[in-house]
Structure 1
Amino acid sequence: MENKILKWMVDYFCVSVFVEICSVAQNNVLFIIVDDLKPAIGSFKDKLAVTPNIDKLASKSFVFENAFVQQALCAPSRNSLLTSRRPDSLRLYDFHSYWRTTVGNYTTLPQHFKENGYHTHSIGKVFHPGITSNFSDDFPYSWSQRPFHPKSEIYKNAKLCQNEDGSLGANLICPVIVNFQPFGTLPDIESLHEALHFLKKKNNKTIPYFLAVGFQKPHIPFKFPREYLDLYPLENIPLPQNRWRPATLPEVAWNPWVDIRTRDDMKDLNIPFPYGPISDDALKKIIQCYYASTSYIDYLIGQLLEAVDNNTIIVFVGDHGWSLGEHGELAKYSNFEEATRVPLLIHVPNLTKNKKKITKLVELVDIFPTLVDLTQISKPLSLCPVDNESTALCSEGRSLASAMWGNASKGKSAVFSQYPRPGPYPELNSDKPILKNISIMGYSMTTRRYRYTEWVGFNTSTFNISWNKCYGKELYDHSIDPGENMNLAGRPELHEIQKNLRKKLILGWRHV
């Protein structure tokens, strides 16, 4: 106990010095969240990516190279990040419930800033829209003014994508001429203009702001200005070497990417359900459009960053990753690292004048307590109680401030993700099962060397986990298999390693 108290005192002292160095005035906060963005960014060693503006931000930020989401699906991931509570605490694994009415009146990240003197505003996709944020983006709890949504987003899935024969479809691949789109614009362009308008009014004001800007691309459909295709000639697009389903992958772990198959242009390919495969030519076009969409967002982010003053903490993050053919999969909806690992950058004024790489394992639930410590708007967040009954302000993450300051501690020894399934075999609703249909939960733990996953029975009435009812296990050794291509679960020579990893997985995040 004395060691824990001493560590807390040291960390708190570091944070206090941290904030004193950063600025005298209260820092503004710009929170940028990008939909479906994996680390397909130049500063994350992706040689294909053309992302000069994000790279420029990275050059003066803390770059967290091993940041993981808690579930690779938009609503659960965003609500987990913004409340610093994990999916099992929110009891949210789909798009169909609002945590304040079903579990507890938990405080959110922007709400905490609002309650401590900040003007908070949401632009674009920050919370997932719909019932999961009470059809209001959690207004007025989290935001000082009504959240902004682009008027053109109602056309995001409309039949506006041009086919080769001149007809229009609701396609996956949809490069467009912007002037010919409804209202002559695209949703992310509208969000940028709203953000620039907000910053023009709020910069140099005495009341600090917390501005959250959510960009929709590279989320499907890949609707973006067609000129960004020029950055990625199709003949230069590489295919992943591991683009086939691993023979030892449990069937329950497979993500059949149904939302890809149902797009008009993909239907014409007659891709066999559930395992495919998709043709190399089609996969190349998907990869090309994912990267083109990312470069489009990079350009908008560059314009946004030019309007930010020097007193602003900037957080840049993806809400989850996206598979681009690795293991024969597309989209998210899995526990593979392609779906769970995301880019995370934190820029702190006057402190990160140069790039500072952090290789420690971190989770998106860590962002909330980190921003509290960096701004010192309140005392540090306490750890949430085990019973999950309290609605008091707390965190199920761990502040990254001491790691940013240079504390020599090793950090977390493991990070945790999970994904639900309706049954042991791929079904049409395997990707996005609604709560009542979930019967299996895949609990996944990544350590510095391994990823270990068990797909176990899950009761959505009691929310009890049946660890003894197992439908599949996965074990990957990243030291010899960074691509997670060879499932080693069940190997007799790894029995003790798997046994210890299983024990750690069951104990959970509180014990790492």
Structure 2
Amino acid sequence: MLFYMPGKVSNLIFILSIAMLVLMRMVHFQYSYSGMKFPFHRPVLTVSNSNPILKPRVPLNVLWIIFDDLRPALGVLGDPIALTPHLDQLGEKSTVFTEAFCQYPLCGPSRISVLTSRRPDTLLSYFNGYPINQTGTFVTFPQYFKEHGVVTASFGKVFHVEDDILFDWDRVWSSKPWFPSQNHSSVESECSRAQGQAQFKLMCPVDLSTHPSAFFADNELVRKVSEFFRNWAETARSNRDQSFFAAVGMHLPHVPFKFPEPYLSAYPLERVKPMPDVENVDFSPEIRQYTRRLFRKWNFLGKNLDPSRFNDRFRHQFKQHYYAAVSFVDRQIGTLLKSLVAAGLDENTIICLTSDHGFALGEHGLIGKQYIYDVTTRVPWMIRHPSASGSLRNFSIVPLEQLHRVASQTRRRPLKSVAQPVESLDIFPTLADLAGIPAPPRCPVFNGMLSRKQPLCVEGTSQAQEVLDHSYPNPRVTNRSLRVAYSLTTQGQLMGRQKRNISMIMYSARDHQYRYIESFAFNLSSYSPLFKQSLHRELFDHVNDPDELHNITGLSKYKEVVDYFSKQIRSYFDVKNTSNHHP
């Protein structure tokens, strides 16, 4: 507010105000670029423990949907192949984070990281099946919601392994977690055109004319969640102050790709771009070893087969089946959202949708996950808040026979597109803020040893203000951010899925322009990285090389960039270095 003050006093106040603004700008500039010759700095971190979001007038429910192995293969995210009309309709009414990255590209470590908002090296979680409380007693965000009076419910794969949570499920969930009644791998006879056990492990289209009662895990999952919505709507009339947190873990597009066979018709092979010609890929030794181990695990290529000899047609079909599986699970999401609307819960429910990690489909010669390029670490993340414009009441289901028409239609755009690096760690504090419950305290930043000692704290940063800012900039406008997203993975003699197998750890730093990767030896005795034993470095410039095909670490003009990221990784994650200065 401005006040009129006559004479010299007003002039003096005006001059002092201008001087103060200039000084603040200079301080910000000095902090941001001091000692730097390229446009980025250390991550932007919020250290306030106070909740900046006003408590909503009525309790808001939260529906959290997490996919398994879903890369950003959505039409609303610009994927040219994907036919996802239902996810696109949701994205059209949501804030979509187009540069979201997981912290570990493997199901177990990623999910524990998301649920606790702790980095994998804080939890020492480097492989599947690692108990969540092996390192300490950590509060997950469903538990945090429950402790604040919210009814929590779990459907499908939320934590990685069912046994990780069932023994003390009542600490986290208000009712016993629910899982599909059948094991998807127990019905091999349903797979059409199966070519032995190996084929079934990966691709399983089902001929419904032969198997009309075939079991699909995600189909049963949606029916159960829809029943939950109906029951909640009936009982909520008598308790309007109660809210729920429902976690829904979809199975697809995890292998095996099991779906009704007609979904393949939406993806004729001529419409699916083949995987890169692996004969011309310059495999690094690490990728070659990893790919061999992966194929050996899938048990269909033989222990000595060179991955560069992988059959091109089979690779093409694998990609085709992946996208068909995505379209099938997209249809299930459409049914789920329609049931939410039918129960009258859409106008007071926050919908958060993401994936545990990405999935490579031939990029870098890789198929699968557990490497830290964009294709394996980048995930879809969208949030639909009830206060946003656009209702779900006009949400429509696209019949399978009309799915092919989506390919020729103008792709839908996000209601709001946020093009800045964010991390899966941010989900916990973001949903707490949006739901109006107290903001969880922040962990000691980039200090895993101190963070381990705190049962409740978050290493992520709330993105609630981005969601609640309804200015809706043009989705084509790129928001340049100074934040860095960090990911890591481990490798070993088998798949890095057991403690005894870890021999190397790989860290990645990703900002709006660069991805930097550095590998270090791993000491099993101390169970920690050996930061003095650097094994491999990679740097990619996303402005000129969005597919991360050209490692530019050897170019002299990028030496400062490489040195900066390398120093930052050591400074932030070498917890044994007592000289570390953590921001």
Give the TM bin, normalised by the shorter chain: 0.7 to 0.9
Partner residue, 1:211: 246
Counterpart pick for 1:236 among 261, 271, 283: 271
| Residue-by-residue CA offset, 1:177-218 (whole Å, 9 max, x unaligned) | 357669642111111111011111012613211111111111
Cα contact 1:373–1:380 (8 A) shared by 2: no
Partner residue, 1:322: 359
Deviation at 1:291, TM superposition (A): 0.3
CA distance in 2 between counterparts of 1:495 and 1:84 reads 33
SS where residue 357 of structure 2 aligns? coil
Q: Structure 1 counterpart of 2:369, which letter? A: K
Query: Residues 271 and 288 from structure 1, CA distance in 2 versus in 1: closer, same or farther, beyond 3 angstroms?
Result: farther
Within 5 Å, give how 1:361-400 maps onto structure 2.
361-384=421-444, 386=447, 387-400=450-463
Q: Structure 2 counterpart of 1:225, which letter? A: P
CA distance in 1 between counterparts of 2:179 and 2:358 reads 23
Deviation at 1:463, TM superposition (A): 3.2
CA distance in 1 between counterparts of 2:189 and 2:570 reads 47
SS where residue 381 of structure 2 aligns? strand
Cα contact 1:271–1:278 (8 A) shared by 2: no
Partner residue, 1:50: 83
CA distance in 1 between counterparts of 2:196 and 2:526 reads 53
Query: Residues 150 and 471 from structure 1, CA distance in 2 versus in 1: closer, same or farther, beyond 3 angstroms?
Result: same
Q: Structure 2 counterpart of 1:249, which letter? A: S
Within 5 Å, give how 1:249-328 maps onto structure 2.
249=284, 251=286, 255-256=290-291, 258-260=293-295, 262-263=297-298, 266-267=300-301, 273-308=305-340, 309=345, 310-328=347-365
| Residue-by-residue CA offset, 1:378-430 (whole Å, 9 max, x unaligned) | 234323463124233110111111233449996552101111012xxxx5x1x
- Give unmatched runs, 5+ long, in structure 2: 1-26, 32-44, 391-413, 474-478, 574-580
Does 2:222 correspond to 1:192?
Answer: yes
Cα contact 1:372–1:381 (8 A) shared by 2: no
Deviation at 1:464, TM superposition (A): 2.8
Counterpart pick for 1:107 among 119, 139, 142: 139
Query: Residues 277 and 450 from structure 1, CA distance in 2 versus in 1: closer, same or farther, beyond 3 angstroms?
Result: farther
Q: Structure 2 counterpart of 1:379, which letter? A: A
Counterpart pick for 1:401 among 454, 464, 473: 464
CA distance in 1 between counterparts of 2:293 and 2:333 reads 30
Deviation at 1:281, TM superposition (A): 1.2
Cα contact 1:76–1:94 (8 A) shared by 2: yes
Deviation at 1:151, TM superposition (A): 1.3
Does 2:63 correspond to 1:41?
Answer: no
Partner residue, 1:140: 170
Partner residue, 1:73: 106
Cα contact 1:244–1:326 (8 A) shared by 2: no
Q: Structure 2 counterpart of 1:404, which letter? A: V
Cα contact 2:490–2:504 (8 A) shared by 1: yes
Does 2:483 correspond to 1:413?
Answer: yes
Query: Residues 154 and 289 from structure 1, CA distance in 2 versus in 1: closer, same or farther, beyond 3 angstroms?
Result: closer
CA distance in 2 between counterparts of 1:315 and 1:253 reads 37
Deviation at 1:14, TM superposition (A): 5.2
Partner residue, 2:403: none
Counterpart pick for 2:522 among 424, 438, 458: 458
Q: Structure 1 counterpart of 2:180, which letter? A: P
Counterpart pick for 2:53 among 3, 9, 15: 15
CA distance in 1 between counterparts of 2:207 and 2:453 reads 51
CA distance in 1 between counterparts of 2:116 and 2:197 reads 44
Query: Residues 432 and 151 from structure 1, CA distance in 2 versus in 1: closer, same or farther, beyond 3 angstroms?
Result: farther
CA distance in 1 between counterparts of 2:279 and 2:75 reads 26
Q: Structure 2 counterpart of 1:247, which letter? A: D
SS where residue 474 of structure 1 aligns? strand
Q: Structure 2 counterpart of 1:459, which letter? A: N
Cα contact 1:321–1:340 (8 A) shared by 2: yes
TM-score by length of 1: 0.88
Deviation at 1:369, TM superposition (A): 0.4
Q: Which has the larger radius of gyration?
A: 2
Cα contact 1:152–1:182 (8 A) shared by 2: no
Query: Residues 10 and 120 from structure 1, CA distance in 2 versus in 1: closer, same or farther, beyond 3 angstroms?
Result: closer
Q: Structure 2 counterpart of 1:210, which letter? A: F
Partner residue, 1:485: 549
Partner residue, 1:124: 156
RMSD: 3.1
Query: Residues 333 and 277 from structure 1, CA distance in 2 versus in 1: closer, same or farther, beyond 3 angstroms?
Result: farther
CA distance in 2 between counterparts of 1:336 and 1:168 reads 27
- Give unmatched runs, 5+ long, in structure 1: none
Q: Structure 2 counterpart of 1:301, which letter? A: I
CA distance in 1 between counterparts of 2:582 and 2:47 reads 20
Partner residue, 1:500: 564
Residues 233-242 or 43-52, more deviating: 233-242
Does 2:120 correspond to 1:87?
Answer: yes
